[in-house]
Structure 1
Amino acid sequence: MNHERIKEKLEILADAAKYDVSCSSSGSKRQNKNKGLGDSTGMGICHSYTEDGRCVSLLKILLTNVCIFDCAYCVTRKSNDIKRAAFTVQEVVDLTINFYRRNYIEGLFLSSGIFKSPDATMERLVRVAKKLREEENFNGYIHLKSIPGASDELMREAGLYADRLSVNIEIPTKAGLKLLAPDKDHKDFIQPMKAVKNSIDLYKSEKKIIKSTPVYAPAGQSTQMIVGATGESDRDVMYSANFFYNKFNMKRVYYSGYIPVADDSRLPALGTEVPMMRENRLYQTDWLLRFYGFDVREILNDQHQNLDMDIDPKLSWALRNLDQFPVDINKADKRMLARIPGVGMKSVHKIISARRYRKLGWEHLKAIGISMNRGKYFITCDSREFERRDLTGIQIKNQILLSGASKYSKNFTNQLSLF
């Protein structure tokens, strides 16, 4: 093995993989067996966190940055003048095992540019996973990027070796995809998702009857959308995400702010990156849809097509629906408790448990951990220390923003006093 050449490839193909954020291992429970290498239980992604709070890492690389497509938003598009490289199947296997033995990584995230054809690319990705599992007895986490347009047979095989599969939808709208990636067809992204969902359902139903049935893609599938490359609204983005959650049982949808990589008239100008706050608000909305019982149309609709950058989406919804507040903390059901700004799901469960024994007042809510600077405007309880006194939505918003700024200023002053 030419170590200098491998190092050069690694630098090129690891750097090219950094734009893909749709890698997460949550949900996989592949156990070590036969004294093999690795164990994917609770594993996570490069410099990220698992559900139990541990920081873990994957070897995150492209198989190759050679690509037959010319997508305007992609750094590896064929017309881009960049240094190209490609790993062999064995090189990726050797890197994964060697890095694992040195305790650098806990698994592999493998994507690729599309060379020759989707099937040729997907077949090579599957070979990497198959070699790791069957020849190296590797039981660590493996996440394979599904290639748009790959056959159902290859997708089915991929799920037998990988813990998670993902195909990036890339652009949230069909019109945006047609503009920036005219060589690609929207249905080529949908077909692999459909194949993976069908296989997951099939293997789960078979395992109920035949216990020896192998587990298929135990961590499910995810996708990623680039935000801000076209003029899509936050409503467009979240309606697309909602479709994928409902249609394909996605584990996660990731939102990646567009980073200008080319001077192209179809794209935002160089130097105009998507604000990090927009990504943050999209993830907060995603959380509300998945865990708080919100319908996407309640948060984003024809009247409110973009999220408020000043305040979180739950507070924004509450201010638009003041007629549903204040909520009696001692009587409200779980659904309505979860809609109170400043109240998380853990606090909801604590409230429901605690009020069985006594009526709750402000001191109890503070002890539970509710964010009182927001929550107090939307709650009544067994105390009379605070009442909303018919404040308007604008007045409430301004007071919350002012209290947040005051809190930041106080913390900053306290830090300065240490010096």
Structure 2
Amino acid sequence: MQLIEKLSILADAAKYDASCASSGAPKRSSQGKTGLGATDGMGICHSYTPDGRCVSLLKILLTNFCLYDCQYCVNRRSSDVPRARFTPEEVVTLTLDFYRRNCVSGLFLSSGIIRSADYTMEQIIRVAKLLREEHEFRGYIHLKTIPDADPLLIEEAGRYADRLSVNIELPTDLGLKTLAPEKDVGSIKRAMQTIFTGEQTVRNEPRAPRFAPAGQSTQMIVGADDTDDSTILHSAESLYGNFRLRRVYYSAFSPIPNSPKSVPLAAPPLMREHRLYQADFLLRAYGFKAGELFQGPGDLALDIDPKLAWALENRDLFPLDLNRAEPAMIARIPGIGIRTTKRLVELRRQRRIRYEDLTRLRCVLTKAKPFFITCDYHPRQAENSSHSLRQQLQDRPQPVQMGLWG
């Protein structure tokens, strides 16, 4: 099989893994090559670092052959998809060629399980080792960790990779046992613990070898079973707390050709995935707890964002006086973000906040107006019922521009 044919198959197979991002990675160049490019070519994904740089990664599988038969996976053992396999040297060649053409600045590499977990992990590590040691590649490398691999192999991977990820796949033990019986939650979490321990060692011992400076991430599949959003977010909260993950990624289940009857025949609404990302950001950046976003078991509302839903459920806390309220509470007002909160706190040290200040700071006033007070503004909407406000503030479908011929 020609290299381009392998690339076509294995780049397409990698698109289902959402746990690919470069946030937290150090900025690098390799032997004077400082330009970053962007392309829509196959196998290339785009991520953004905290300082706003666009980072393009070659995103491929080492192979889509797999010993496992996970029911939700297009590359499962029983699937009839076309199969291909790269050698480590071929992945190195592709990465360097794409890099020299300024198409990518790094590599995301995952793989199906071949022969054994240890053998597969050794092959993945060989790619990173060749890039780092033989070619002095200083670009970004994200390696997918094989959970059942020897911890020593995971530690070795961390010395070459910027980020490691271990996909937990499903948020409950029951879901994993039902749809992926060959996988074990215990081994997944042990791999996460190995990575976490490596990160802690570097923090506590400045002279310790470099280890995955961009941390670790994971992915949960949404909609492959009947797990609700409350359970998903509580599971994510636990992962953040126990293993200091940088990100939990949510991937809406996509029905695949000849799907088994154990998984749904229809995909969940993409808006559900979007709401989970919004709620996840509230956990990571705003100090929310998963229990605050749910009154009990259930899913996030699709018509309004989670922050607005929380504010409507807690109307007794609003409206807030922006000249007196705690910063953490101001940040919980719909339409006001963390940066705006910091600017408002700085401003009120100089003078009292007025309504026009929020206009100047570009707050989303259509959402924020019912929830704050300034020295010259008190919302009449504060007397409205939560139901009425929900009708006014719910997200509206974006109009679709029709083509010239309808």
Please tell me the TM-score bracket, short chain as reference.
Answer: over 0.9
In structure 2, the partner of 1:317 is 310
Q: Find the partner of 2:253 among 255, 258, 267.
A: 258
SS of 1:256's equivalent? strand
1:357 has 2:335 as partner: no
Map 1:228-243 onto structure 2 (within 5 A).
228-243=223-238
Seen in structure 2, the aligned counterparts of structure 1 residues 172 and 342 have a Cα distance that, compared at 3 Å, is same
> In 2, are the aligned partners of 1:37 and 1:137 still within 8 Å (CA)?
no
CA distance in 2, matches of 1:7, 1:241: 38
> In 2, are the aligned partners of 1:30 and 1:139 still within 8 Å (CA)?
no
- Provide, for residues 250-278 of structure 1, a one-character-per-residue CA deviation record: whole Å limited to 9, x for no partner: 00000000001143221111xx1121111
Q: Percent identity at matched positions?
A: 49
The more displaced of 367-376 and 51-60 is 51-60
Q: Find the partner of 1:222 among 204, 217, 222.
A: 217
- Provide, for residues 161-198 of structure 1, a one-character-per-residue CA deviation record: whole Å limited to 9, x for no partner: 00000011011111111110111111121111010000
In structure 1, the partner of 2:40 is none
In structure 2, the partner of 1:335 is 328
> In 1, are the aligned partners of 2:55 and 2:104 still within 8 Å (CA)?
yes
Q: State the shift of 1:300 in Å.
A: 2.2
CA distance in 2, matches of 1:301, 1:193: 30
Q: State the shift of 1:51 in Å.
A: 2.7
1:187 has 2:186 as partner: yes
In structure 2, the partner of 1:344 is 337
1:400 has 2:397 as partner: no
Paired AA for residue 82 in structure 1: V
CA distance in 1, matches of 2:220, 2:66: 19
In structure 1, the partner of 2:39 is none
RMSD: 2.2
Q: Which ranges in structure 2 are unaligned for 5 or more consecutive residues?
A: 37-43
In structure 1, the partner of 2:5 is 8
Map 1:22-37 onto structure 2 (within 5 A).
22-29=19-26, 31-32=28-29, 35=31
Q: State the shift of 1:400 in Å.
A: 1.9
SS of 1:265's equivalent? coil
Seen in structure 2, the aligned counterparts of structure 1 residues 365 and 69 have a Cα distance that, compared at 3 Å, is same
Q: Which ranges in structure 1 are unaligned for 5 or more consecutive residues?
A: none
CA distance in 2, matches of 1:336, 1:291: 13
CA distance in 1, matches of 2:157, 2:377: 60
Paired AA for residue 58 in structure 1: L
Q: State the shift of 1:108 in Å.
A: 0.5
CA distance in 1, matches of 2:179, 2:269: 21
Paired AA for residue 148 in structure 2: G
SS of 1:175's equivalent? helix
TM-score by length of 2: 0.92
Paired AA for residue 166 in structure 2: V
Q: State the shift of 1:12 in Å.
A: 0.7
Q: State the shift of 1:384 in Å.
A: 3.5
CA distance in 2, matches of 1:291, 1:328: 22
Map 1:71-110 onto structure 2 (within 5 A).
71-110=70-109
Q: How many residues align?
A: 395
Seen in structure 2, the aligned counterparts of structure 1 residues 38 and 142 have a Cα distance that, compared at 3 Å, is farther
In structure 2, the partner of 1:170 is 169
Q: State the shift of 1:387 in Å.
A: 2.4
Q: Find the partner of 1:17 among 14, 17, 40.
A: 14
In structure 2, the partner of 1:290 is 284
- Provide, for residues 55-75 of structure 1, a one-character-per-residue CA deviation record: whole Å limited to 9, x for no partner: 331111000011000000000
- Provide, for residues 300-342 of structure 1, a one-character-per-residue CA deviation record: whole Å limited to 9, x for no partner: 242x521110101011011111111110011001111011111
In structure 2, the partner of 1:65 is 64
Paired AA for residue 370 in structure 1: C
Q: State the shift of 1:48 in Å.
A: 3.4
TM-score by length of 1: 0.90
Seen in structure 2, the aligned counterparts of structure 1 residues 337 and 117 have a Cα distance that, compared at 3 Å, is same
- Provide, for residues 362-412 of structure 1, a one-character-per-residue CA deviation record: whole Å limited to 9, x for no partner: 1111111211111111111111463235211001111223xx659x78xx9
SS of 2:60's equivalent? strand
> In 2, are the aligned partners of 1:70 and 1:79 still within 8 Å (CA)?
yes
SS of 1:47's equivalent? strand
Seen in structure 2, the aligned counterparts of structure 1 residues 368 and 57 have a Cα distance that, compared at 3 Å, is same
1:268 has 2:264 as partner: yes
The more displaced of 386-395 and 365-374 is 386-395
1:246 has 2:276 as partner: no
1:51 has 2:50 as partner: yes
Seen in structure 2, the aligned counterparts of structure 1 residues 363 and 105 have a Cα distance that, compared at 3 Å, is same
Q: State the shift of 1:25 in Å.
A: 1.2
Seen in structure 2, the aligned counterparts of structure 1 residues 214 and 252 have a Cα distance that, compared at 3 Å, is same
Paired AA for residue 386 in structure 1: P
CA distance in 2, matches of 1:198, 1:49: 27
Seen in structure 2, the aligned counterparts of structure 1 residues 385 and 32 have a Cα distance that, compared at 3 Å, is closer
Seen in structure 2, the aligned counterparts of structure 1 residues 399 and 179 have a Cα distance that, compared at 3 Å, is same
**Where do 4+ consecutive residues of structure 1 move more than 6 Å?**
36-40
CA distance in 2, matches of 1:68, 1:405: 45
Paired AA for residue 168 in structure 2: I
